[in-house]
Amino acid sequence: TVTIGVLAVQGDVREHVAALTDLGAHVITVRRPHEVEAIDALVIPGGESTVMDKLVRAFDLQEPLRKRLADGMPAYGSCAGMIMLADRIADARADQETLGGIDMTVRRNAFGRQVDSFETELDYAGFDGSVHAVFIRAPWVEEVGEGVEVLARVRHGAAAGRIVAVRQGNLMATSFHPEVGEDRRIHAEFVRIVEQSR
C-alpha cells in the first residue's frame, strides 16, 4: 500500500483522510518537516489558502514540500489546495505564496459573492456519468500551460466553460470538494496515479 499524507495545517483534513482511508490507502497527517519524508503522495485540503500558505511557511514545510513536488511526488489539491498547487494566482495579494507545480493561473473566490457556494453536475474526463460537484468560495482556473490537461469545465450559467479540474503529470487539482459526499471516484483516480508513479 501507498502512504498518502494529508497536509494538516488548516482546512477540511478529516474528510480527505476518511475518503482515502475508505479506498484502502495508508494515510498520515503532515504538520512537520520530517513527515514530508514519510509520504509517497500529498493531498492538500480545502480551507483558506492565505492562512494555509502562512502556516506552511511558519511550520517550515514550504521548502521540503516544494522539493518533493519538484522531484515528482504526486499531489492532489481541492479548492484552497488547488490554489496551493498553482504556479500563479491572478491578482494575488502581495504576500501570498503557493507551493506551485501546475502551470496554471487560478483566480480566488472567482464565482463571486452572489454565489458563494453552489452545487452542480459536471462531465469529468474519463468518468462515466456526471460528477456532483460542491463549490465553496471556489477558485477557477483562468489559464493553463500546454502541459496541463483539462478534466472538467462548468456546464451552465455565467461561469459556463470555466476550468474546474486539471491534471499535469502526477499533479491533480479540483476547484470543488469531492471529499464532501460519497462519490470516491476522484480520490480513487488519485490513488491510481500514486500507485502508478511508484
Site residues (CB under 6 A) for ligand GLN?
46-49, 79-80, 83, 108-109, 136-137
Catalytic residue among 177, 182, 187, 195: 177
Burial of 195 (0-12, 13-18, 19+ CB in 10 A): middle
Q: Tell me if residue 149 is catalytic.
A: no
Give DSSP secondary structure letters for 80-107. HHHHHHEEEETT--TT------EEEEEE
Minimum CB distance to ligand GLN smaller for 63 or for 116 = 116
Segments in the chain forming alpha helices (H): 13-22, 33-36, 49-58, 62-70, 80-85, 185-197
Minimum CB distance to ligand GLN smaller for 170 or for 174 = 174
The CB-of-30 to ligand GLN minimum distance in angstroms stands at 17
Minimum CB distance to ligand GLN smaller for 51 or for 70 = 51
The CB-of-148 to ligand GLN minimum distance in angstroms stands at 20
Question: Residue written as cell 496554471?
Answer: 104
The CB-of-117 to ligand GLN minimum distance in angstroms stands at 9
Is position 89 annotated in a ligand binding site?
no
Residue of 13, 11, 63, 18 whose CA lies nearest to 37 = 63
Residue of 59, 1, 56 whose CA lies nearest to 25 = 1
Q: Tell me if residue 79 is catalytic.
A: yes
Is position 49 annotated in a ligand binding site?
yes
The CB-of-62 to ligand GLN minimum distance in angstroms stands at 16
Is position 186 annotated in a ligand binding site?
no
CA 171 to chain centre: 9
Q: What residue type is assigned to position 182 of the chain?
A: E
Is position 108 annotated in a ligand binding site?
yes
Instruction: Give catalytic residue positions.
Output: 79, 177, 179
Annotated binding site for L-glutamine: 47-49, 108, 136-137
